[in-house]
Structure 1
Amino acid sequence: MGTTWKALIPLVVVGIANSAQGRPLTTNDQYMCSWGAGTAARAQELKLSGVSLYAARQKLQTYKFAKPWMRMMAMGITEQTYDSASKMKPAAVRQGFYDDCLRYKVARK
């Protein structure tokens, strides 16, 4: 019984430290991650359907963006998606991007 408690104590300490460290994300952070994840998923769809990077960039130029930073961010996400050799489904790309973005935002706080 004593060795079990000795093994569990470090896990409890790490859990408490992680929960104290993570502050809640703002709605803006969540929106930004969600928007980026959608952009990555659309880029993956285009890539898997055989659309060239040039055509994907042209398509992005026709979109109306709500905020000024979105156009350049969308271009960057699209280029990174095309540079990747990944053949993952767009839904998996969306979820992975969203999870990684949230993890990054939490780590920065």
Structure 2
Amino acid sequence: MRAYGLTLATFFLATFALGAQAKALGKNDRYVCSWGSDIAAGAQQSKLSGVTLYSARKKLQVRKFPKPWMRMTAMGITEQTYNSQSRLKPTAIKQTYYEQCVQHAVAQR
């Protein structure tokens, strides 16, 4: 079975390697990646459910965030998700976002 040009074995090896990288990251980096992946998954769920970008943004405006930077970051993630042509399920979006965030954080080190 091939998915995006990768064999299933390669996919599992890559997933295992990302898990090891995630453990090497600090607690804050893992938290930020997890939080962002939750925002992306929620935005994808809203998009697939027919919620407009305007409505999704309004919900974020009234939501309480623990850190000041989170509101604008959530807006950006939501807008990018809505602009994407992707029809993947929210769980796939969450996993993809988290994996790419971890890769980015590791590359920044």
Structure 1 distance, partners of 2:26, 2:93, is 23
Q: How many residues align?
A: 88
Structure 1: which 5+ runs fail to align?
1-21
**2:48 matched to 1:48?**
yes
Cα distance, 1:62 vs. partner?
1.4
Aligned to 2:38: 38
1:25 CA drift (Å): 0.9
Under a length normalisation based on structure 2, what TM-score does the superposition of the two structures give?
0.78
Deviations 1:47-72 (A, max 9, x none): 00000000000011111000000000
Equivalent position of 1:107 in the other structure: 107
The residue correspondences of 1:1-109 to structure 2 (distance < 5 A) are 24-109=24-109
Question: Matches of 1:94 and 1:62 in 2, distance apart?
Answer: 23
**RMSD, aligned α-carbons:** 1.3
TM-score (norm 1): 0.78
SS in 2 for 1:76: helix
User: For the residues of structure 2 that align with 1:69 and 1:29, how far apart are their CA atoms?
Assistant: 15
Q: Quick one: which amino acid aligns to residue 59 of structure 2?
A: K
The residue number in structure 2 matching 1:3 is none
User: In the alignment, residue 100 of structure 1 is paired with which amino acid?
Assistant: Q
The CA deviation at 1:24 is 2.3
What are the ranges of 5 or more consecutive residues in structure 2 without an aligned counterpart? Answer: 1-20
1:48 aligned partner, one-letter code: L
Please give the alpha-carbon distance, in whole angstroms, between the structure 2 residues aligned to 1:64 and 1:30. 21
Distance (Å, rounded) in 2 between the aligned partners of 1:69 and 1:62: 15
Cα distance in 1 for residues equivalent to 2:59 and 2:96: 24
